[in-house]
């Protein structure tokens, strides 16, 4: 038998995918190609489960076809084989209800091994998950696993639906450069040296922000791109140095116009992948209210346990700890854990200890009961304060009150995190629940104590809220922006803003951010110039494809929805990137490695 392993051409063309065959195909002559998922040698009969991207079909080799039977004897796991045969209905009792192809099998008349395989480093089967390092090192095999294929196909479906939706809504896809100039979105840039311009560097885009704005100046009216973005950050869980965004921009939109396009796009992705009907419009919550009620700008609204401001309730308290805080003009916030969820004394002590060590904050807790409050601080708090707090929190007997005192901007996020942790602990975050919302009216600036200057909450191109324009110079920290974020179950799916389209205003904002006129012109001269040429008002948004795919695939690891992801250390375990380069390459680029 000639060794077909060396022929680059298949002996015959596939007629069907393995996983696509059904009872309706009974009697058909078919040709299938795939990987050996399992082989059972019953002496006379040999069974092979053959796998391709659509699934598994059972092959049966009968000694009557001696040549094919001989080949089947040699086949091993993950060999790639081609067979021809006939689809037969399985006899009663051998039907496999677990398998979509379980009613039939292919009786093989011809078989060729097109390539062999060593024993793979981990089993390639549904539900078998090997150690992640091993999976990433052998990613091409990991991607052969049905779950990974399913994830990648779902991602494809979602993006296809998004593209179709945007196309139907008049958006034009434009590719923008990867080798470009740094446009700050708050992270470090990846730099690429230019050989022909020694000493100069391109930056990989953190996002196509300025380019899409320029496309609006050019008159594209509606742009989108499935854009690769690069940010050189210390990687946290579920962050990758390169990631994909659905990036879009529109001319003359109101925030609600951008939000409505984004909602439609997300709804299309849900419909195409999961057949789930999402019903926009999503509720909107002002940033200030989100912080006040949930201690977070991306609140998980699947459960209650909202924060309450108890500052008033404790006015004039004799409880020293609270009194000192109030004297400083600071606040007291609390959450109430409902009676049906009890925390043990030890759990409360641990919680208090963690707040102390991580944030330098004290936790004052009290269990409310018919007979009154219990717990270490109960005796220090007066009855009228208790009554006011109970009323403000709508306390019921048996609820546990968790109180934190200090600067509102510091304690609300801490309580917000505590709320989330408790929501998870008590199973209040319904995994099937979908709580979409928009957070709007973000502040334009925040003060960075580290940099001792104002920094943009969103990015420097975000427009101030027109109602707050007059405060821009006098009280910049009280200016809201026209930014909006879409949040799902406590995670940001995407966001954007209406942009500044006036050169003067853009220069003013850059000035407030501490950029000198020279720096602004040097770094953003092309944008500032473009704005002078009849730049129309514009705005847009960007959505993280990886995050969206995670949600649609029901996985909590970003690496499960990216074909070739990097590790937390930004390394590709399979290829070894980033790797050293030859001295010649470095010399050509005029680069010296010093460490
Ligand atoms: N460029 C922003 C980002 O990447 C999104 C936007 O404002 O459209 O997050």
Residue pLDDT, tens place only, 176-222:
999 998 766 678 999 999 999 999 999 999 999 999 999 999 999 99
Q: State yes or no: pLDDT of 2 exceeds 60.
A: no
> Rounded to the nearest whole angstrom, what is the distance from the C-alpha of residue 249 to the centroid of ligand 1?
10
Note whether 297 and 290 are within 8 A (CB).
Answer: yes
Element (DSSP H or E) covering residue 271: helix 255-274
> Rounded to the nearest whole angstrom, what is the distance from the C-alpha of residue 440 to the centroid of ligand 1?
15
Pocket lined around ligand 1, Cβ cut-off 6 Å: 185, 207, 209, 245, 496-497, 540-542
Ligand 1 atom 4: the closest Cα is on which residue?
207
Give me the chain's average pLDDT, please.
95
Closest by CA position to 184, among listed 209, 213, 217, 202: 209
| Mean pLDDT to the nearest integer, 267-280 | 97
Burial class (CB in 10 A: 0-12, 13-18, 19+), 398: middle
What is the phi/psi pair of residue 95, to 5°? Answer: -65, 135
> Rounded to the nearest whole angstrom, what is the distance from the C-alpha of residue 462 to the centroid of ligand 1?
10
Angle between helices 503-512 and 517-532 (to 10 degrees): 160
pLDDT at 129 (0 to 100): 86
State how far the Cα of 467 lies from the Cα of 479, in Å rounded to an integer.
9
pLDDT at 371 (0 to 100): 86
Give 33's strand partners.
82
Ligand 1 atom closest to the Cα of residue 483 is 7
What radius of gyration, in Å, describes the C-alpha atoms of the chain?
A: 31
pLDDT at 71 (0 to 100): 97
Ligand 1 atom 1: the closest Cα is on which residue?
209
What is the phi/psi pair of residue 100, to 5°? Answer: -60, -30
pLDDT in tens, 456-481: 999 999 999 999 999 999 999 999 99
Ligand 1 atom closest to the Cα of residue 494 is 9
> Rounded to the nearest whole angstrom, what is the distance from the C-alpha of residue 207 to the centroid of ligand 1?
7
CA 235 to chain centre: 14
Ligand 1 atom 3: the closest Cα is on which residue?
542
Ligand 1 atom closest to the Cα of residue 206 is 4
Closest by CA position to 300, among listed 428, 440, 482, 403: 428
Ligand 1 atom 9: the closest Cα is on which residue?
542
Note whether 337 and 399 are within 8 A (CB).
Answer: yes
> Rounded to the nearest whole angstrom, what is the distance from the C-alpha of residue 539 to the centroid of ligand 1?
10
> Rounded to the nearest whole angstrom, what is the distance from the C-alpha of residue 426 to the centroid of ligand 1?
35
Q: Which of 228, 297, 495, 547 to mutate to test the pocket of ligand 1 (most atoms within 8 A of CB)?
A: 495
Note whether 39 and 76 are within 8 A (CB).
Answer: yes
Q: Which residues contact 154 (CB under 8 A, 6 or more apart)?
A: 273, 549, 552, 553
Confidence bin at 236 (pLDDT 50/70/90): confident
Ligand 1 atom closest to the Cα of residue 462 is 7
Count of CB atoms within 10 A of residue 95's CB?
15
pTM above threshold 0.85? yes
pLDDT at 3 (0 to 100): 62
Count of CB atoms within 10 A of residue 386's CB?
19
What is the phi/psi pair of residue 440, to 5°? Answer: -125, 180
Closest by CA position to 460, among listed 192, 183, 58: 183
Beta pairing, strands 331-337 & 400-406:
antiparallel
State how far the Cα of 338 lies from the Cα of 302, in Å rounded to an integer.
15
> Rounded to the nearest whole angstrom, what is the distance from the C-alpha of residue 323 to the centroid of ligand 1?
44
Confidence bin at 134 (pLDDT 50/70/90): very high
Beta pairing, strands 104-115 & 55-61:
parallel
State how far the Cα of 56 lies from the Cα of 34, in Å rounded to an integer.
9
pLDDT at 55 (0 to 100): 97
Confidence bin at 245 (pLDDT 50/70/90): very high
> Rounded to the nearest whole angstrom, what is the distance from the C-alpha of residue 497 to the centroid of ligand 1?
8
State how far the Cα of 252 lies from the Cα of 592, in Å rounded to an integer.
48
pLDDT in tens, 357-382: 999 999 999 999 888 899 999 999 99
């Amino acid at each position: 038998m000639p060794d077909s392993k060396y022929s680059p051409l298949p002996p015959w063309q596939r007629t069907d995918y393995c996983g696509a065959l059904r009872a309706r195909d009974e009697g058909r002559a078919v040709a299938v190609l795939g990987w050996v998922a399992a082989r059972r040698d019953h002496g006379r009969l040999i069974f092979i489960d053959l796998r391709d991207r659509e699934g598994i079909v059972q092959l049966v080799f009968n000694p009557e076809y001696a040549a094919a039977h001989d080949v089947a004897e040699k086949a091993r796991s993950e060999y790639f084989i081609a067979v021809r045969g006939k689809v037969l209905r399985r006899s009663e009792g051998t039907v496999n209800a677990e398998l979509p192809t379980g009613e039939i099998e292919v009786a093989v008349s011809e078989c060729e091994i097109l390539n062999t395989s060593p024993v793979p480093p981990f089993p390639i089967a549904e539900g078998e998950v090997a150690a992640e390092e091993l999976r990433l090192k052998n990613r091409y095999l990991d991607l052969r696993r049905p779950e990974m294929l399913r994830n990648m196909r779902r991602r494809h479906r979602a993006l296809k639906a998004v593209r179709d939706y945007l196309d139907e809504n008049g958006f034009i896809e434009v590719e923008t450069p990867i080798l470009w100039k740094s446009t700050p979105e708050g992270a470090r840039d990846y730099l690429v040296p230019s050989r022909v311009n020694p000493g100069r560097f391109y930056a990989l885009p953190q996002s196509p922000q300025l380019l899409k704005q320029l496309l609006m100046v050019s008159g594209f009216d509606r742009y989108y791109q499935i854009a690769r973005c690069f940010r050189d950050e210390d990687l946290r869980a579920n962050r990758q140095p390169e990631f994909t965004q659905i990036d879009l921009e529109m001319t003359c939109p109101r925030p609600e116009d951008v939000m409505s396009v984004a909602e439609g796009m997300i709804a299309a992705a849900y419909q195409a992948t999961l057949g789930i009907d999402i019903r926009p419009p999503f509720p909107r919550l002002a940033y200030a209210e989100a912080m006040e009620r949930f201690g977070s700008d991306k609140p998980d609204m699947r459960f209650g346990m909202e924060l309450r401001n108890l500052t008033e309730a404790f006015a004039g308290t004799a409880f020293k700890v609270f009194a000192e805080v109030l004297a400083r003009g600071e606040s007291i916030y609390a959450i109430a854990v409902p009676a049906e969820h009890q925390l043990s004394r030890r759990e409360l002590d641990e919680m208090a200890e963690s707040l102390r060590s991580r944030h330098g904050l004290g936790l004052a807790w009290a269990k409310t009961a018919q007979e009154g409050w219990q717990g270490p601080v109960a005796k220090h708090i007066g009855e009228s304060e208790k009554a006011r707090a109970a009323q403000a929190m709508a306390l019921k007997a048996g609820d546990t009150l968790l109180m934190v005192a200090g600067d509102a901007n510091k304690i609300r996020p801490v309580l917000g995190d505590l709320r989330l942790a408790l929501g998870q602990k008590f199973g209040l975050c319904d995994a099937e629940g979908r709580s979409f919302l928009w957070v709007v009216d973000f502040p334009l600036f925040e003060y960075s104590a580290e940099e001792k200057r104002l920094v943009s909450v969103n990015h420097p191109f975000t427009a101030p809220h027109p109602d707050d324009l007059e405060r821009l110079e006098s009280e910049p920290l009280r200016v809201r922006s026209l930014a909006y974020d879409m949040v799902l179950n406590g995670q940001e799916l995407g966001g954007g803003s209406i942009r500044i389209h006036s050169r003067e205003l853009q220069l003013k904002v850059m000035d407030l951010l501490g950029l000198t006129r020279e720096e602004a012109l040097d770094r953003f001269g092309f944008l500032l110039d473009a704005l002078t040429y009849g730049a129309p008002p514009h705005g847009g948004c960007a959505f993280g494809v990886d995050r969206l795919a995670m949600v649609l695939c029901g996985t909590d690891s970003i690496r499960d929805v990216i074909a070739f992801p990097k590790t937390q250390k930004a390394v590709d375990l399979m290829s070894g990137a980033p790797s050293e380069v030859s001295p010649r390459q470095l010399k050509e680029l005029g680069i010296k490695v010093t460490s």
